[in-house]
Amino acid sequence: MSTLSFDIAHLLAGGMLLVSFMMIYQTRLYALLNVFALHAVMLALSVAWQAVVQDAPHLYVTAAIALFFKAILIPGALHRIIQRMGIHRQVEQVVGTGATMLLGMGLVALSTVLMLKLTSGSDALAREDLAFALSIVLLGFLMMITRRNAVSQVVGFMSLENGLILAAAGAQGMPLVVEISVAFSVLVAFIVIGVFLFRIRERFDSVDVTVMDDFRGEKR
Amino acid sequence: MVNLVLGGALLLMMLGLASVVLAGRAGASKIVYGASALLSALVAVVGLVFLLSLAPSSTLILPIGLPWIGAHFRLDALAAFFVIVVGFGSAIISIYSIGYGRHEAEPWRVLPFYPSFIGAMLLVVIADDAFTFLLSWEVMSLLSWALVLAHHREQAVRSASLVYLIMAAMGTMALILAFGLLAGPVGGYDFDHMRSVAESPLLGAIVVILMLVGAGSKAGIVPLHVWLPQAHPAAPSQVSAMMSGIMTKVAIYGFIRVTFDLLGGAAWWMPEIVLAVGAVTAVMGVLYALMQHDLKRLLAYHTVENIGIIFIGLGLAMAFRHYDMNAAAALAMVAALFHILNHSVFKSLLFLGAGAVQNATGSRDMEEMGGLIHRMPVTSVVFLVGSIAISALPPFNGFVSEWLTFQAILLSPDLPDWGLRILTPGVGGMLALAAALAAACFVKVYGVVFLGRARSSQAKTAQEVDRWSLAAMAVLAVVCLLAGIFPGFVIDALSPVSHALVQSSMPVQTTDPWLTITPVASGRSSYNGLLVLLFIAGSASFAAWAIHRFASRGLRRAPAWDCGFVLDAPNTQYGAASFAQPIRRTFGTAVFRVVEHVSMPRPGSTAPAKFRVTMRDPVWDGFFVRIGGGVGWLADKANRLQFLTIRKYLSVVFTLLVLLLLVLTLWN
């Protein structure tokens, strides 16, 4: 593999990681959705570049799925949900931005050290890719537990899933059917979560999940 | 040959199924017990023929069980010996039950489980892969649990069976871990693979400790014995005999199979642990027994003691094998195996005798018995034989195996390891103490139960038990005597077993003149059971004649109005508690924190004076109560986990994930 293609792959995956960090400090919901769309675009680019490098045409399909569903359809749908619920003004965060960023950096360091250590036998591209992917997964998880609003938890989950796709694209020989099924399962999850959002809201007049805790009689 | 044993075991299990249908009918118990006796006896004969013919081990693989593993069965010398122990003991106990089973109020609670229990024990012994072994072991545990629960309407029985169930589950878990370690990363679960792999000393030590917990808890080593004196007496008497006499031996079989056969070798300090555990078990068991006045519970504690003696033999065999002292290892191994056989015989005999006594007097409390030698002459004779045997007195079998154990202990100065050289004489001292205390305990049992005057109206009107029961007990008593007089034959029969386990056998005994046995060398020590029997018979006859001649018929002077007795009330006799008092005061205050309370009435009051003894079980209080408290505390704390918010659950998962990743990072 030439140095240039490696550098570009590195750049795109690193870009995704950077966007993940951007998501962590977005406190406004609309901005969060925009950043998430950017995240998905970066994923599509990254996967498409892998398709070029590995000469694997089925990865173009994966990239297209990512671009269509995650960069356009899901952010658009979430946008409409927020509009209909009228919660676009809400600002919410459980842990402060600074602390979350520090935690995120720690997670990136951990996953880099771990992945570089574990995959010492494989080629450089896959190693870097896996390290980035694990970082993105952990950051998505971190986002899910540091947010209170159900919408941003959904976004965290989606970005976590983007990290998985990135890892799958980096590993050579992953069949297309697996990727498609993963993409569709995410879509189904999105629909289910969307439905749930409305049900939660109908019942509690809010999508803030702490209200559900109050409902269970465990106000904290 | 293994297919015959397997067939016998499966037939016994099917008999258990059939008796579900039969159990309600009259005469069912006779059929089921009779068929069990027949099948067990046939299986025992197969084992005996196999052992004596020195046949090569016979294997069988059935395509059932885990995929790609199947069910392996194997009959080798060790398995054959235990097939004999299980088959012979079960046959005799079943014959006893033909008569005794009539007294069972609800036979359908016992009959279906009884033959299946025998079958499961046989399967454990012939199993040749970890899965079959564990499955049979678990079936054995559960069936015996169901048998313990037969009289489930009593609260004590229910709590005993609960303790038993928990201990059995814990023991099986330890066994699973041990077999997992033996199977290694490649997962070779058949015993052949485990034999071929040599484990590192540390791994071997862990396996031995897990086996001590797993098999030892079933056998009843201190401090894992707590379930045994509760569960064994709670079952019907024939089942108590089965559990104490036979199932504990199957547990020891598991220990021997793993530590001597499957395990390549263990760390050098392992024999010391086994020896120490054995010595503590022997002494603690007999001390517990001395404090007891419940006949069956006392016998159960004596099982604990004898398991300790067997483990001392096994520990010595491990030590000698570790330092390649082959002749000594064979001696220690044969001593342990001989004691296994002996204990299964005389403990079955004693439990069956206790069952007969319980049936006749309606009680297990020794303080309500007395004078039964007049009402139950045959039972009292066979019980006396069992008592002498378990007290390790010549000319019966218990003496021979304990004497062999002592001979092995006397060889310990030749060991190169200083720790063992210092420890083993101490163990010998403990063994001697246990033997002496056991003799004291059975003087108490026999004196209180069979001698003196009846302490209750039921004891006064007790009836001798039926002929089936008497015949079974008589057979066991005769075996006790024969094995004591002709130990050379037993030792020679055991030599293939010891050869398979420690790669050496004891010198052939039956070629010695006049049936003498010489375990090491003729200049060192020898024992002749026949000679001792003749001497005892002669001197006892002479003493009896002399007493009758000079004491009974002699002229005696007594106070004029007492007729020889000061007060004619049975409770003025020496009771079980009074007999045990000196020993209770000597050992009990330190071990059991015994306190004697005497409350005297005020002068002039007509209230009776009261004497009360309180004691604490150090193992139960110091070990199990604390563990129980710890589990409760932990459950209390963990209960909060049930009421977290979704975000907190996610945080817990996330933290755990990050921690695992960290461990992975630092580990490699």
- What was the pLDDT predicted at B187? 78
Strands B595-599 and B71-75, bridge-based pairing: unpaired
* B593: pLDDT strictly greater than 70: yes
Helix pair B248-256, B77-100: axis angle to 10 deg = 170
**Is A49 contained in some domain?**
yes
**Is A205 contained in some domain?**
yes
Q: Which residues of B388-401 are buried (b: 16+ CB within 10 A; e: fewer)?
A: bbbbbbbbbbbbbb
Name which of A114, A141, A212 is nearest B654 (Cβ-Cβ): A141
To the nearest whole Å, the CA of B185 is away from the closest chain A CA by 20
Question: What value of ipTM does the predicted structure carry?
Answer: 0.83
The C-alpha angle B632, B636, B639, rounded to 5 degrees, equals 135
* B486: pLDDT strictly greater than 80: yes
Query: What share of chain A in percent tops pLDDT 70?
Result: 76
Name which of A144, A212, A218 is nearest B650 (Cβ-Cβ): A144
The region, left, alpha or beta by phi > 0 then psi within -120 to 50, assigned to residue A171 is: beta
How many domains is chain A built from? Answer: 1
Question: What is the rounded distance in angstroms from the CA atom of residue B53 to the CA atom of residue A105?
Answer: 75
The string of pLDDT tens digits covering residues B310-339 is 999 999 999 998 888 888 899 999 999 999
- Name the burial class of residue B631, with classes exposed (0-12), middle (13-18) and buried (19+) by CB atoms within 10 angstroms of its CB: exposed
The string of pLDDT tens digits covering residues B86-108 is 999 999 999 999 988 887 778 88
**Is A132 contained in some domain?**
yes
Q: What is the DSSP string of B354-407?
A: HHHHHHHHS--BGGG---HHHH-HHHHHHHHHHHHHHTT-TTSHHHHHHHHHHH
Cβ B668–A213 below 8 Å, yes or no?
A: no
Selection from B658, B661, B667, B655 nearest residue A115 by Cα: B661
* Own/partner pairs, A198-204, CB within 8 angstroms, 24+ separation: A198/A81, A200/A150, A201/A85
Segment B185-204 mean pLDDT: 83
- Name the burial class of residue B522, with classes exposed (0-12), middle (13-18) and buried (19+) by CB atoms within 10 angstroms of its CB: exposed
- What was the pLDDT predicted at B434? 93
Question: Could you tell me if B80 and B50 are in contact, meaning their C-beta atoms sit under 8 angstroms apart?
Answer: yes
Question: Could you tell me if A129 and A167 are in contact, meaning their C-beta atoms sit under 8 angstroms apart?
Answer: yes
Kindly give, in sequence order, each residue whose CB lies less than 8 Å from that of residue A14, ignoring residues fewer than 6 positions away: A132
Residue B643 near chain A (CB below 8 Å)? yes
Cβ A110–B661 below 8 Å, yes or no?
A: yes
- What was the pLDDT predicted at A220? 47
Cβ A141–B664 below 8 Å, yes or no?
A: no
Segment B153-158 mean pLDDT: 89
Question: What is the rounded distance in angstroms from the CA atom of residue B521 to the CA atom of residue B396?
Answer: 23
Domain that holds residue A60: 3-215
Question: What is the rounded distance in angstroms from the CA atom of residue B250 to the CA atom of residue B142?
Answer: 15
- What was the pLDDT predicted at B250? 95
* B614: pLDDT strictly greater than 50: yes
The region, left, alpha or beta by phi > 0 then psi within -120 to 50, assigned to residue A205 is: left
* B480: pLDDT strictly greater than 90: yes
- Minimum mean pLDDT among A91-105, B11-25, B584-598: which range? A91-105
**Is A142 contained in some domain?**
yes
The string of pLDDT tens digits covering residues B520-538 is 777 778 888 888 999 999 9
**Please, what is the average pLDDT of chain B?**
88
The string of pLDDT tens digits covering residues B349-368 is 999 999 999 988 888 888 88
Query: What does the longest C-alpha to C-alpha distance in chain B come to?
Result: 98
- What was the pLDDT predicted at A177? 59
**Is A220 contained in some domain?**
no
Question: Could you tell me if B369 and B459 are in contact, meaning their C-beta atoms sit under 8 angstroms apart?
Answer: yes
Segment B203-229 mean pLDDT: 90
Cβ B654–A111 below 8 Å, yes or no?
A: no
Token representation of residue B89 = 């003991």
**Is A125 contained in some domain?**
yes
**Is A98 contained in some domain?**
yes
* B130: pLDDT strictly greater than 70: yes
The string of pLDDT tens digits covering residues B394-411 is 889 999 999 999 999 998
Cβ B647–A94 below 8 Å, yes or no?
A: yes
pLDDT tens sequence for chain A (220 residues): 578 888 888 898 899 999 999 888 887 888 888 999 999 999 889 888 888 887 878 778 878 888 887 888 888 888 887 887 777 666 666 677 888 889 999 999 998 888 888 777 777 777 778 888 889 999 998 888 888 777 788 888 888 888 888 887 776 666 665 666 666 677 777 767 776 776 666 666 666 666 666 666 555 4
How far is Cα of residue B495 from the mean position of the Cα atoms in its chain?
23
* B633: pLDDT strictly greater than 90: yes
A 42-101: CB under 8 A from B: 94
To the nearest whole Å, the CA of B662 is away from the closest chain A CA by 7
Residue A138 near chain B (CB below 8 Å)? yes
- What was the pLDDT predicted at B243? 92
Segment B421-447 mean pLDDT: 92
Question: What is the rounded distance in angstroms from the CA atom of residue A61 to the CA atom of residue A175?
Answer: 11
Sign of the CA dihedral with B430 first, then B432, B435, and B436 last: negative
Give the CA radius of gyration of chain A.
18
Chain B partners of A138 at a C-beta cutoff of 8 Å? 657-658
**Is A149 contained in some domain?**
yes
Selection from B37, B25, B11 nearest residue B99 by Cα: B37
B109 CB neighbour count, 10 Å cutoff: 17
Give the best residue of A92, A144, A207 to mutate against chain B (max B CB count within 10 A). Answer: A144
Cβ B658–A110 below 8 Å, yes or no?
A: yes
The string of pLDDT tens digits covering residues B221-244 is 988 888 998 998 888 889 999 999
